[in-house]
Amino acid sequence: GIGYGGSCFPKDLDAFINISEKLGYNFELLKAAKEINQQQKFFFLNKIKDALWIIKDKNIGVLGLSFKPNTDDIRSAPSIDIVRLLQMEGAKIKVYDPCAMGKAKDVLDKVKFCQDPYDVCRGSDCLLILTEWDEFKELDFLKMKKLLKRPLIIDGRNIYDAEKMEKLGFTYIGIGRKG
């Protein structure tokens, strides 16, 4: 996926690394896990670049901002970093999250906060899935396809079945599997 976030796991990982160093042990496995987690955001960004070629001035829709479903917690959420990286590339971002929009408004600038997932799709050059909310699994895909400029979904959480999405006419790109 696009990596882990939240307030507990990243902090605990850093604490374990620090404790092991104080005890004279170089815990390479934990350091590698932390590094890989950071790299996943750039890996995902490269998938977007490969699919769109040019990100500048593209309208990119984002579903999910919280670091996990069923929370409004955006602390260390990979989605926030990904949105900022896309903005640095010149993208125009539209977002929707069932719970985290209020907190996201405090940390994200120049983002259009949408009323629902379909508003995110309307006129977007592609759609990114960044949090695996159950409600995103139950969307009307044919409606989404009509609203998107191009039926392109880049799924950072692998919530959809690739074969099903392709049969519906989407270009579907997941993480760590076909596409």
- Positions marked active-site: 8
| Contact present, 105 and 170 (Cβ < 8 Å) | no
Report the pLDDT value the prediction gives residue 179, as an integer from 0 to 100. Answer: 44
For the beta sheet containing 171-173, the strands, ordered from the edge strand earlier in sequence to the opposite edge, are 111-113, 92-96, 59-63, 126-129, 152-155, 171-173
| Contact present, 92 and 108 (Cβ < 8 Å) | no
| Contact present, 64 and 80 (Cβ < 8 Å) | no
- Any residues with CB less than 8 A from the CB of 166 and at least 6 apart, and which? 172
Spans of the chain, pLDDT less than 50: 179
Backbone angles phi, psi at 121, to 5 degrees: -70, -35
SS3 content of the chain, % helix, strand, coil (to 5): 45, 15, 45
Q: How far apart are the first and last CA of the chain?
A: 13
